[in-house]
Amino acid sequence: MNDRSDNLPEDERRLFREAMAEVEPIETDRRPPEAERPRPAPRARQREADEAEAREALASGALDNADEDLAEELFHARPGIQRRVLRRLRRGQYAMQAELDLHGFTRAEAAVALRDFLFDCRARGLTGVRIIHGKGRRSANEGPILKPAVAGWLRRRNEVMAFCSARPVDGGSGALYVLLARS
């Protein structure tokens, strides 16, 4: 018996045994806790995927122009945004709740698409979005067209609190993480 039943008077024990005399134990197919196998250790699947992608990029030589991408990094923050928030944004630690891909758009089409996208995001109460503008590698000799245009448009939008170039796994200097003000 357990500790609680040892403290009961004998007449209460007798009453309990009488009340339980006709009770039969229920059979169960559950294993007793001591027979359970230990759970496997958690796996960092996203980290494994990131590492595999990095190994593949190293093997294929895709990182040979990494310095070029660093020079093209974009960043903007409104006054008063905490450094901790900016650090988390740069690390890609905010959930990106929506995405706009501007590949193949003309400058005029991109302006309209971006305006509509931001309006929709505000209406839905989204705060973290990713905008893919591309790196401009297929542009003519004048260099990227959408990349500087998107950065300029975002700087002028009141709802945009901050933005920065995405991590390489999310598009690098061809995409932006954007933090929107709460509506």
Asked if residue 61 and residue 49 are part of one domain, the reply reads yes
Q: How many domains does the chain have?
A: 2
Q: What is the CATH number of the domain that holds 163?
A: 3.30.1370.110
Model's pTM, two decimal places?
0.60
Task: Examine residue 112 and state whether it is found in any structural domain, yes or no.
Answer: yes
Asked if residue 128 and residue 62 are part of one domain, the reply reads no
Asked if residue 126 and residue 56 are part of one domain, the reply reads no
- Give, for all 183 residues of the chain, the pLDDT tens digit: 455 667 788 998 999 889 989 888 777 777 666 656 677 777 778 778 777 777 776 666 554 444 344 447 888 999 999 999 999 999 999 999 999 999 989 889 999 999 999 999 999 999 999 999 988 776 666 678 899 999 999 999 999 999 999 999 998 889 999 999 987
Task: Examine residue 22 and state whether it is found in any structural domain, yes or no.
Answer: no
Quickly list DSSP for 75-136. Answer: EEE-TT--HHHHHHHHTT-S---EEEE-TT--HHHHHHHHHHHHHHHHHHT--EEEEE----
